[in-house]
Structure 1
């Protein structure tokens, strides 16, 4: 998870002017929720949940005909979004289910605002649930769906999300959507509950930026657009590799969106925002965790007023580095994001970094025995974040941005074990994490 935990005792600007107490800069790492007992995406599963059972006896159904018919419904719905045809989108929705029709109408209006360059719905696998079958009848078809999409000007390539639909066969042989919620609790965390799946939203754009807020929140959207624009420029300028990606900021009233769960106590009170994975392949398709492509930032509705350009620069650094992989040590992940966050940027007051550097050395480094370990990074976040920043600050000063960027890429892609991390650091820096900590100590002395 990526975000911040603690409310600073004073504003960042006050701290930069020498107030004596630097704000606590606490971030959650990128959401990396593995799938445990998730859906079988390429074969039917009778163990998806405790409530699921083996397939009940049903009247003979031509499976090939059903697959073709449902594909036709899904294709019609995707094209309806791209062509702005609400009637076609709703044509195969159960007209007797008023709440479903209302949700689907809202979904269509939401989807239209995102500006998809590509949108495809694909059947993945049938799921069985006796209660659902009893509710809708013997022809019930409960199926996991992959939504492949690409938001124009935002996603560098196609990405995927998950949803679950329930269909039944009409007397005329056509298939009708009767529910869009029956699989919600089984779907892997972080790969569904997208911003368009909530209530009515407002989507606003600027170059390389997309903001999602509640419908009618124009002022909030415009404020976030300005801050996000500054943050995108800052990351592009300051993070090695000339990032050309985009920043998505989702600031809704909902407490669970994508991989962000602000109902959890550790997040609800203090987290400001977190960068949540966007998937190139879904959890369970190729790997258990899924293959990640990018990240969208989700803001905690409780702390929406605390978001500023520096907050978003921190999160967008996670976005920029997300495609490299998930294996970099936490001190490098959060240290890199905090390093960029603290640099000069449009619309943000310049920070007194020399003073902060000395404060970190005297307040935290003298007590530390090593770089912050992954296992305790967030439990000891008061010291972990400053020390992580100091480590990355040292790397930039001593080795330069190009070397730091290359180091990060290899650590993120290959650093799944301590032995691999040591090997990569020796290759690039001539020292391990232990040696880096000793070098930071020596520089302080």
Structure 2
């Protein structure tokens, strides 16, 4: 399942069907940004006009910005060099709970093995309640965390944090909270795996798995399955795939863009691929620019995850950089197509019988390809029909053409007119024509 989408397996291939609710990730991101987080630079580069209105006149804004930059740089360097003392140096020592949490955060961050890590101030936020709590020097600021996990992220990516600082009598600035902005930060670019309790990170070539500390057996099992799934997607996806698979399987029900507190997600979902951003929502585009995806496993159902589940999700990971506009039948159909292919160490599925079942049970009753608007409401039929469409495209046109079609639709298919143009250019038929071709193939 891609973030904002669903993934189900079907009884015809003797795999449990799962219905997934739609995650309105883009709407949530827009709402979060609209709720007060404007992603522009701090007063140093914006002139400080917005801050000057409500900030204490005794505070030198430029000096504050420079001092906080020093704190952020020290924290990033401390993670890269393994210096816990420096990481905690600017944390309020009187808040023992905060210090303990920051110590856990440091330990978590160290396990990921960052090749690059920086923190950058974005926009100051305002909250009178917090000013009353921490005092007149309270500085609440959105922070961009730019990082690149060694041998995992192909390019540097970004996440969002919210820090609250106050000024010490000495004039330096200290961190008094890292959670005051949590509810206002964009969903999907926040609440990373390292922001939870103590974690265990295990690696293998092109694989990184995150579980709760002490769950070594689960980590080893997920690493083995991930290696198989990475190999399968690399082999089967047109043009190959050189990326990596990150699997997060924590007890927490909300991690990154995955929310397993939602009843249907909690019951039926196994895992979902959540976007990783090259640019944050609101920086360049409203939705942000995708770089990759990390897979988050449902803590209720992680015992049911297998290599095929991960192959489905890693197909979403492989296609995430293409863009957000591919039709849902193509997004989920492609992932299901790869998932159902023969895999080393996995029993082959009875795809011939499955195709016959899909044609007689679903295609015979359908009027068109599954639409984006109703895809999830009719998931029991949407997924089989989407798989059938991709099976037809791969068989008739070959993987290279399908891969090129996917890239162009994902990048440019924001309207039906554009989708029709791209489909006609590559296939000689629109989505309507493809549906008629599926009907004709079934009749033959």
TM-score, L = length of structure 2? 0.93
SS in 1 for 2:140: strand
Per-residue displacement from partner, 1:31-59 (whole Å, max 9, x unpaired)?
A: 742422141121679xxxxxxx9964524
Per-residue displacement from partner, 1:193-243 (whole Å, max 9, x unpaired)?
A: 000000000000000000000000000000000000000000000010211
- 1:319 match: 317
SS in 2 for 1:249: strand
- 1:109 match: 107
Q: Which deviates the most, 110-119 or 285-294?
A: 285-294
SS in 2 for 1:150: strand
> Retained in 1: the 8 A contact 2:7–2:332?
no
2:402 is the alignment partner of 1:407: no
2:234 is the alignment partner of 1:239: no
5 Å matches for 1:358-373? 358-373=356-371
Q: Distance in 2 between matches of 1:437 and 1:346?
A: 32
2:122 to 121, 124, 130: 124
- 1:422 match: 420
- 1:152 match: 150
5 Å matches for 1:44-59? 56=54, 58-59=56-57
Change (3 A) 1:393 1:326: same
> Retained in 1: the 8 A contact 2:21–2:264?
no
- 1:24 match: 17
Q: Distance in 2 between matches of 1:343 and 1:105?
A: 45
- 1:384 match: 382
Q: Distance in 2 between matches of 1:170 and 1:196?
A: 28
Tell me how far 1:284 sits from its aligned partner: 1.2
Change (3 A) 1:300 1:271: same
> Retained in 1: the 8 A contact 2:18–2:269?
no
Tell me how far 1:25 sits from its aligned partner: 5.6
- 2:297 match: 299
Q: Distance in 2 between matches of 1:22 and 1:255?
A: 24
> Retained in 2: the 8 A contact 1:294–1:323?
yes
5 Å matches for 1:217-366? 217-366=215-364
> Retained in 1: the 8 A contact 2:162–2:181?
yes
Q: Distance in 2 between matches of 1:25 and 1:377?
A: 13
Tell me how far 1:5 sits from its aligned partner: 6.2
- 1:48 match: none
Per-residue displacement from partner, 1:310-335 (whole Å, max 9, x unpaired)?
A: 00000000000000001000000000
SS in 1 for 2:287: coil
Change (3 A) 1:367 1:8: closer
Q: Distance in 1 between matches of 2:42 and 2:81?
A: 33
Aligned residue pairs total 429
> Retained in 2: the 8 A contact 1:214–1:253?
yes
Tell me how far 1:29 sits from its aligned partner: 7.3
SS in 2 for 1:166: strand
> Retained in 1: the 8 A contact 2:6–2:332?
no
- 1:12 match: none
Instruction: Give ranges in structure 2 of 5+ residues lacking alignment.
Output: 44-50
Q: Which deviates the most, 22-31 or 184-193?
A: 22-31
Tell me how far 1:24 sits from its aligned partner: 2.2
- 2:47 match: none
Q: Distance in 1 between matches of 2:166 and 2:54?
A: 15
Change (3 A) 1:256 1:377: same
SS in 2 for 1:374: coil
Q: Distance in 1 between matches of 2:124 and 2:200?
A: 34
> Retained in 2: the 8 A contact 1:326–1:413?
yes
Change (3 A) 1:380 1:304: same
SS in 1 for 2:384: helix
Per-residue displacement from partner, 1:280-305 (whole Å, max 9, x unpaired)?
A: 01111111111111000000000111
TM-score, L = length of structure 1? 0.93
Q: Distance in 2 between matches of 1:162 and 1:56?
A: 24
Tell me how far 1:23 sits from its aligned partner: 3.7
SS in 2 for 1:346: coil
SS in 2 for 1:225: helix
Q: Distance in 1 between matches of 2:6 and 2:287?
A: 24
Instruction: Give ranges in structure 1 of 5+ residues lacking alignment.
Output: 10-14, 46-52
Change (3 A) 1:342 1:151: same
2:162 to 158, 161, 164: 164
Q: Distance in 1 between matches of 2:20 and 2:236?
A: 19
